[in-house]
Structure 1
Amino acid sequence: MTQTLATIYAQVPHRVRTMCGQRHFCGINRTVAWALYWTLLTFLSSGLIALAPPSAGAAPQEGSPRITPVVRAVQTVAPAVVNITSTHIIQGQYLSPLEQFFGPGFGMGPGFGGASPRTQKRESLGTGVIVDGKKGLVLTNAHVIAGGEEVTVRLLDGREFSASVRGADPDFDIAVLEIKGAQDLPSVRLGDSDDVLPAETVIAIGNPFGFSHTVTTGVVSALGRTIRNRNNAFTDLIQTDAAINPGNSGGPLLNLEGALIGINTAVDARAEGIGFAIPANKARRVMADLMDSGKVAPLWLGLDVQDVDVQTAMALGLKDARGVLVNTIFPGTPADKANIRPGDILDSINTTPVRDRRDYLDILRNQTPDAKLRLSLRRDGAPVTVDLAPALFTDENARALMEKRWGFSAAQTGRGIVISSVNAQGPSPFLRKGDLITAVGANPVNKVEDLLQAFRRERMAGQVLLQVTRNGKAYYARLIP
């Protein structure tokens, strides 16, 4: 396109025009320089040469070596990654300025005032990923939204929505949120975590320390890892060296195809490059149970175990005190069908060591009904391997076993959970018909389901602390099964 000489001249840098006016320019005589300059202007004015500023920040086109599989995966999935803000309401007291300076209680006389009730908000940050754009369903970690009264999600495009918790299970550290007032949102494609390969490249997207939509890459370091905290064991985890920091929790772990293979959940604080993700297949199953019934179906193998301490090991002629001793097999259960016997020593489940009966229950609680378990046993000193699948530990099973093992039954009433019968020869003769059970250990009991769930957790414990209310007075009682 032809341009006027004035327009073209204006496009020539001032420094060039100045140099052309000098006596010599890079060794060129001034007359020659001006001749070259006007020749250039002639070409520009005729449209033979286009002089235009270079495009700033031009995006590389498809096919460019810069558009790697990682870039394509991030471009596809990032719009479905959300930042989650969970607001916790904290009740406290407001201290007057005098109390803040001199200490609580100072200046409590007339006209001074004192501590007054105060409500504070505390926010925690995390990440989630939209897995169903039409329904607005988000997968994240249970610990991201634990205790939150208000949950807000923010998308990559800046939109913010309120979200409700459809279900959460701390045993799996999985929660499902539903975005309110949004339709046709972007979503991630769920992959098959059983197909994950050690050393394959993976991508994490999250909100570490509030830095929105941070991308990190790494490899799958190992599969089938187990980590433990004070209350739970998390099994079958994907280990990765992709950087995972506080705020990444609940974010996606992707393969190079942009498919979700895991939900980032934890990092080993003792080291760098050791992060863990919940496999997508387990997260998918937990999500389905939470959406259907609000909880994950409890499981069991149909056996009871006891710890192998030093005295037990000596009595059994064992070289070391490890594993748990099988002492009871219930008829018709997976353990019975797999021909596990009383006296067997259970060493591991899916290569995860079983250190004691608490460990056994924690590992079993982190399994889904479709899990395939391999148990490593010792029988008469020889190793034995057994493959089996867990069965549903129904309320009927739990109720019958509780009456046998704890020696009482209970029913739901308008007053709460009331003792309906007590076995005088059982381990709880201190209970009376009509007593209220209000807690088992640190777990409150408000309905029968709470009591049965507490029994499932504590059924192999050597002692159980019950909180009982009788005639309006509460007390604690120790039950030794």
Structure 2
Amino acid sequence: MKYLALILAFCASTLSAQEVPQSAAQMQLSFVPLVKQATPAVVSIYAKIITQERRTPLQSDPFFERFFREQAAPRPRVQNSLGSGVILSADGIVVSNYHVVGMATEITVVLSDRREFSAHVLLGDAEADLAILKIDAPEDLPFLPLRDSDSVEVGELALAIGNPFGVGQTVSSGIVSGLARSGVSGDTGRGYFIQTDAPINPGNSGGALIDMAGRLIGVNTSILTRSGGSNGIGFAIPADLIAAFVAQAEEGQTEFARPWAGVSGQLLDSDMAATLGLDRSGGIILSGLHQASPFRQAGLEVGDVIVEVGGEQVNTPSEMIYRMGVAGVEKQVEIRYLRGSQEHSTRVRLMPAPDLPSRDMRIMKEPHPFAGLTLVRINPAVLAELSLRLEIEGVAVSETGAGAARAGLRVGDVIQAINGVEMAHPDEVVDALSQGQRHLEMVVLRGTRRITMRFRG
């Protein structure tokens, strides 16, 4: 009888393990129902990018080009990109990473049931690494609902779904390890992410990070790793920013309209707070405001400490940029800030960086050695596009062309003077470069460095 009881107990436990969980507690023991619900809305994306073979710089040189005339024209090369995406609506709106599909000439979306559809990009943004696509499908498709990512808490269970290394759709589990992670995307120091320890590997980019209700809380975008594989530190773009991208795509926008702050600042830590005589740390202390900044127009000043944007606490410039992006252009948000020991609030109207005064773009023409060099007058829009400091004025390089690039100029360089004469307008730079002088001295501001370049004609 003793052995019979043990056998019956084992059979009962085995049968119960195969049953579909009926409660939240049972859900912790099995992800099967959740996976069946969510995976049809996660797709694999295959993108083709056509590029030209790189030409040797000598082919553009007036002296050496005759030696290359007999060579065949450069042939296009096809690069393949693999990633994942998430269907967000029954009519085929899909979100993925920009680095997966942003420059693609042909996009194929493969569903979990192996159906294939072509797709095209509606809106993309390299800075946020997000792209919104539209699947060319005549039927309703499975999709995942978006969750308010501000309601996500550290410690929640999460599933990452994608196509790592091209092996096929894969599900990995973990928890939300951290929130409000910033400065982890490339070298830009920008971004705002949900951190997870659910394994994320190459090919997972653009895939889903979902909660236990099957709602999308983020799109997997990057990892911190030394080996190239997952070390348990992965980052996802929050669903609230994805919703802002979808809204603009549905309005017909092809580029993401990002609100411009026109301010510079840093985290107010405890040491700085003590130095300034403040009784609290946290927030962003403003060190500069552009004349056209909407924050200046709303009454803020250098030394003020921004503590909340739209009712949400902010501690870094990346957090503030994220909150503004989620709110969207043409919207008003409440700003709470400290001036001394007094707390104030005001409303700021969010707008794109104004493209005024006119950037007056000029392009150097052939046969000048710097042909293709594109110059613009610096205004707020140029400051934002080239990530220049707010106080910079003058003439910036927006495109180098082959000759100027070989000479050492870079996009974002600010040309301050040529042969000792200060430059304030693109026309002045074009005139100075067109005089045919044998010796040329150019003073360039690159980031915080002042560089003197000398050329001999």
Q: Post-superposition shift, 1:157?
A: 1.1
Would you say 1:82 and 2:43 are equivalent positions? Answer: yes
Residue 242 of structure 1 aligns to a residue whose secondary structure is coil
**Structure 1 alignment gaps of length 5 or more:** 1-58, 96-107, 404-408, 419-435, 446-450
Which is further off, 157-166 or 291-300?
Answer: 291-300
Name the CA shift for 1:437/1:151 in 2 (closer, same or farther; >3 Å). same
Which residue of 283, 287, 306 corresponds with 2:242? 283
Deviations 1:140-173 (A, max 9, x none): 1112113221111111111222110011122322
Distance 1:242 1:439, change over 3 A: farther
* 1:454 maps onto 2:412 in alignment: no
Give the equivalent residue in structure 2 for 1:391: 349
Once the two structures are superposed, residues 438-472 of structure 1 have per-residue CA deviations (whole angstroms, 9 ceiling, x without a partner) of 3559xxx9xxxxx8632444461535652447489
How far apart, in 2, do the equivalents of 1:318 and 1:440 lie? 43
User: Contact between 1:326 and 1:342, CA under 8 Å: does it hold in 2?
Assistant: yes
TM-score normalised by L of structure 2: 0.63
Contact 2:99-2:126 within 8 A present in 1 as well: yes
Distance, in Å, in 1 between the alignment partners of 2:190 and 2:287 is: 20
- 1:352 aligns with 315
Residues 472 and 123 of structure 1, relative CA distance in 2, 3 Å threshold: farther
SS in 2 for 1:297: coil
**Is the contact between residue 290 and residue 391 of structure 2 (CA under 8 Å) also seen in structure 1?**
no
Matches within 5 A, 1:100-119: 117-119=74-76
Choose 452-461 or 250-259, whichever is displaced more.
Answer: 452-461
2:176 counterpart of 1:246? no
8 Å CA contact retained: 1:238, 1:279: yes
1:119/1:328 CA distance change after superposition, 3 Å: closer
> In structure 2, how many angstroms separate the alpha carbons of the residues matched to 1:374 and 1:225?
21
Cα offset for 1:194?
Answer: 2.4
**What is the identity, as a one-letter code, of the residue corresponding to 1:438?**
T
Does structure 1 conserve the Cα–Cα contact (< 8 Å) formed by 2:84 and 2:162? yes
In structure 1, the residue matched to 2:31 is: 70
Amino acid at match of 1:170: A
d(CA) in 1 for partners of 2:119, 2:85: 12
8 Å Cα contact 2:260/2:352 also seen in 1: no
- TM-score w.r.t. length of structure 1: 0.60
- Distance across 2 between alignment mates of 1:371 and 1:281: 17
1:153 to 109, 122, 132: 109
CA RMSD of aligned residues (A): 4.6
Task: Classify 1:351/1:178 alpha carbon distance in 2 versus 1 (closer, same or farther; 3 Å).
Answer: same
Kindly, what percent of the aligned residue pairs are identical?
Answer: 30
Closer/same/farther in 2, CA of residues 181 and 273 from structure 1, 3 Å limit: same
Bigger radius of gyration among the two = 1
Distance in 2, matches of 1:157 and 1:474, equals 62
Matched, 1:438 2:374: yes
Separation (CA, whole Å) in 1 of partners of 2:383 and 2:159? 41
Instruction: Give the Cα separation in 2 of the matches to 1:361 and 1:478.
Output: 31
> C-alpha displacement at 1:265, in angstroms?
1.3
After superposition, residues 290-309 of structure 1 pair within 5 angstroms as: 290-292=249-251, 293-301=253-261, 304-305=263-264
Cα gap change, 1:191/1:472 in structure 2, threshold over 3 Å: closer, same or farther? same
In structure 1, the residue corresponding to 2:173 is in which secondary structure? strand
Contact 2:181 2:194 in 1 (8 A): yes
Paired with 1:323 and 1:260, the residues of 2 have a C-alpha distance of 34
Q: Which range is displaced more, 74-83 or 116-125?
A: 116-125
Distance apart, 1:389 and its partner CA: 6.0
Could you tell me how far apart the structure 1 residues matched to 2:78 and 2:191 are?
31
1:179 correspondence with 2:135: yes
Q: Distance in 1 between matches of 2:117 and 2:374?
A: 38
- Which residue of structure 2 aligns with residue 208 of structure 1? 164
The answer to whether the Cα contact below 8 Å between 2:102 and 2:121 also exists between their aligned partners in 1 is: no
Alpha-carbon shift at residue 239 of structure 1 (Å): 1.2
- Counterparts of residues 213-362 of structure 1 (less than 5 Å): 213-228=169-184, 229-231=186-188, 233-235=190-192, 237-269=193-225, 272-292=231-251, 293-301=253-261, 304-305=263-264, 324-326=286-288, 333-334=294-295, 337=298, 340-344=300-304, 350-354=313-317
Offset at residue 241 of structure 1 (A): 0.9
Unaligned ranges ≥5, structure 2: 1-16, 57-66, 279-283, 364-371, 398-425, 436-441, 447-457
Q: Given the superposition, is the C-alpha separation of residues 387 and 87 from structure 1 closer, same or farther in structure 2, using an over 3 Å criterion?
A: farther
Aligned residue for 2:396? Answer: 466
Amino acid corresponding to residue 218 of structure 2 in structure 1: G
Q: Which secondary structure state, in structure 1, belongs to the residue aligned with residue 75 of structure 2?
A: strand
